[in-house]
Structure 1
Amino acid sequence: MNTESPFESPQTALWRGPAGQAWVAAQAVLDSMFQAFAERLVQAALAAAARRVLDIGCGTGSSTLALAQALGPQSQCLGVDVSDPMLALAQARQAELGLQAASFIRADAQRHRFEPDHFDLLTSRFGVMFFDDPVQAFQNLRKAAKAGTGRLHLQAWRSMAENPFMSTAERAAARLLPQLPARQPGAPGQFAFADGGWVRAMLAQAGWVEVQVKPLDVDCEFAERDLTLYLSRLGPLGLWLQQQPDTLQRETIIRHVRGAFQPFVHGDTVRFKAACWQISARAPTAQEQ
């Protein structure tokens, strides 16, 4: 099911285009890399005895599908994303697994009219940092949660400084590519939720209660043979490389950047620590609003 919105932010355009296509290409690598995060979302859903779950920024569907498998056929696990290529893969994976409890819609979670007072749990694995107006987004999402009992359970990145692995490629390429766009602090994107105090205040302003923002450090790994795919498709450098017709220049840059990842390579495995936030909150009762 697709739902259209007359508004398309720059982030929406990006994820419906090259960023979404890159995540599809690297889906298996990313699922392996972030498996521990999906497992934590499942644990939270089981602990909450959730039956209706909304997975925000579901991407290629790994978290939504894991939730549906864990919660069983009587559950309803809805994944929402703006990216056509990522949702196409998510729906194909759902059909292959035959998981009737999982479903997907294309929609902007900031503006989509979800069924009100409906979800037991709203989850996200790195899917909430891209809203152009986070307060509006979480006000809208709060209305979709069951008043008084609906919970929020999110994972988001801390700062770029705390996640050197995530910026290795662009830092290594900076000398060769001075034109590479720099990340803008506070702008929608991977590290938009870096300031935990701001996240707390933003969710409180959006009407959520019992807001908690706790550090979450997770050891991640993937196969060393997939490192070139990772650095050449994802992040600012990956997006830039996808648009370059000069094959020789691309190969030169990839070879140079790959060397910068050596501190993270251990035999046939790439290992790094993901410095994130575990964010939780509760939808208020009518009296608490």
Structure 2
Amino acid sequence: MFDYDAELVRHHERLFETLDIRPGDHVLDIGCGTGRTTRDAARAASRGTALGIDVSGPMLAQARRQTETEGLRNVDFVHADAQGHAFPPEHFNLGISRFGTMFFSDPAAAFTNIGRALRPGARFVQLVWQAGERQEWHAAIRAALSGGHAPTRSPGAAEAAFTLADREVVVGLLAEAGFTAVDVVDVREPVYYGPDADHASAAVLQLWAAKELVTDLDAASTERALDRLRATLDAHDTGDGIWFDSRAWLVIARRR
């Protein structure tokens, strides 16, 4: 399983600097994955609670195991789609998401449903990717694996990560869903793929976006693509691991 917590370590720090979680908060974590954000929220909300929701069963299984290992008792997880899940109404006073809101089939419906779960005046803080062409990790890895040629199959899920890249669209969606005081902050932090090219290559090839680019290649073409990937990763070795530039939006809104 790809380690998104390692990849997004700088973004995680930026998110939690903004959240200012208080001990009595009740936190809803959208698209929680393996639960790092949920667990850290629960630690900060020591007299409150944190609920993580995600559509991935394997990720949630890992989240629950790690929560048990860490001995946290104010954390829960639900395996469901936040777009339609029946949350307790007006229960949470903080909603958070670290790159977990870009994949809804109907984002307007999803944000409306999330809003119903938040108390009036509650904050909703999320990180989403800016456009794909602004992501060095996306452009460089895609170019390496495709050899500079357009992929033979449609981008599919690989492009879903950028569905909230237009800041005006995000502001409009949140306003229609009952949020106000929407602030969109430009965040430029690098993403991490491993201590060296060997580890980074193995990590990249776990990503569905990378798998899509090599699925239809023959053996010789695949070997050339992997050689190009290795060269690209070597070129991004800072001496302190493999890092790529990235651009995100930190979106802060308040439930009306």
Q: Is this a same-fold pair by TM over 0.5?
A: yes
CA contact (8 A) 1:55 1:77 kept: yes
Q: What is the Cα deviation at residue 131 of structure 1?
A: 0.5
Question: How far off its partner does 1:266 sit?
Answer: 1.8
2: distance between equivalents of 1:137 and 1:253? 38
- Aligned residue among 161, 172, 176 for 1:201: 172
Q: Distance in 1 between matches of 2:156 and 2:216?
A: 23
Any gaps of 5 or more consecutive residues in structure 1?
Answer: 1-24, 285-289
Contact 1:54 1:79 in 2 (8 A): yes
Equivalent residues of 1:33, 1:220 under 8 A apart: yes
C-alpha distance in 2 between matches for 1:106 and 1:98: 21
Q: Which residue of 2 aligns with 1:226?
A: 199
Q: Is the 8 A contact 2:201 2:229 kept in 1?
A: no
From 166, 172, 176, give the equivalent of 2:138.
166
- The equivalent residue for 2:2 is 26
SS in 1 for 2:162: coil
Contact 1:38-1:62 within 8 A present in 2 as well: no
* Equivalent pair of 1:87/1:106 in contact (CA under 8 Å): yes
Contact kept, 8 Å, 2:21 with 2:44, in 1: the verdict is no
- Which of 56, 62, 74 lines up with 1:89 in the alignment? 62
How far, CA to CA, are the matches of 1:64 and 1:168 in structure 2?
31
Asked if the contact 1:42–1:70 (Cα under 8 Å) also holds between the matched residues in 2, the reply is no
2:249 partner amino acid? W
CA contact (8 A) 1:126 1:156 kept: yes
Looking at structure 2, the residues matched to 213 and 50 of structure 1 have their Cα atoms a distance apart, in angstroms, of 27
Measure how far apart 1:96 and its partner are.
1.1
Question: After superposition, what is the alpha-carbon deviation per residue over 1:22-60, rounded to whole angstroms, capped at 9, x for unaligned?
Answer: xxx222xx3222123223333334356661000000011
- Native 8 Å contact 1:36 1:218 kept in 2: yes
The 3 A distance-change label for structure 1 pair 192 and 97 is same
Residues 1:55 and 2:26 aligned together: no
Whether 1:191 and 2:162 are equivalent positions in the alignment is yes
Structure 2 match to 1:71: 45
Residue 214 of structure 1 aligns with an amino acid whose one-letter code is V
Matched residue, 1:128: 101
The answer to whether the Cα contact below 8 Å between 1:129 and 1:189 also exists between their aligned partners in 2 is: yes
Name the aligned partner's letter for residue 118 of structure 1.
H
State the secondary structure of the residue aligned to 1:58: coil
The residue that corresponds to 2:88 in the other structure is 115
Task: Tell whether 2:187 aligns with 1:213.
Answer: no
Secondary structure of 2:12 counterpart: helix
Partner of 1:271: 243
What residue is the counterpart of 1:39 in the other structure?
Answer: 13
Q: What displacement does 1:202 show?
A: 1.3
Tell me if the contact between 1:217 and 1:276 (Cα under 8 Å) persists in the aligned partners: yes
1:175 CA drift (Å): 3.5
Of residues 174, 177, 181 in structure 1, which corresponds to 2:153?
181
Q: Which amino acid aligns with 1:57?
A: G
The alignment of Structure 1 onto Structure 2 pairs a total of residues equal to 254
Q: Normalised by the size of structure 2, how large is the TM-score? A: 0.88
**8 A contact 1:126–1:157 mirrored in 2:** yes
- What TM-score does the superposition give when structure 1 sets the normalisation length? 0.79
Post-superposition Cα deviations, 1:64-116, rounded to whole Å, max 9, x if no partner, equal 111112222x2211000001111111111111111111111101100001000
Alpha-carbon distance in 1 for matches of 2:9, 2:150 = 34
Which ranges in structure 2 are unaligned for 5 or more consecutive residues?
none
Q: Is the 8 A contact 1:172 1:260 kept in 2?
A: yes
SS, match of residue 117 in structure 1? coil
Aligned partners of 1:159 and 1:195 also within 8 Å: yes
- Structure 1's 137 and 50: CA in aligned 2 closer, same or farther, altered over 3 A? farther
* 1:164 CA displacement: 1.8
Q: Distance in 2 between matches of 1:60 and 1:244?
A: 30
Identity in percent: 30
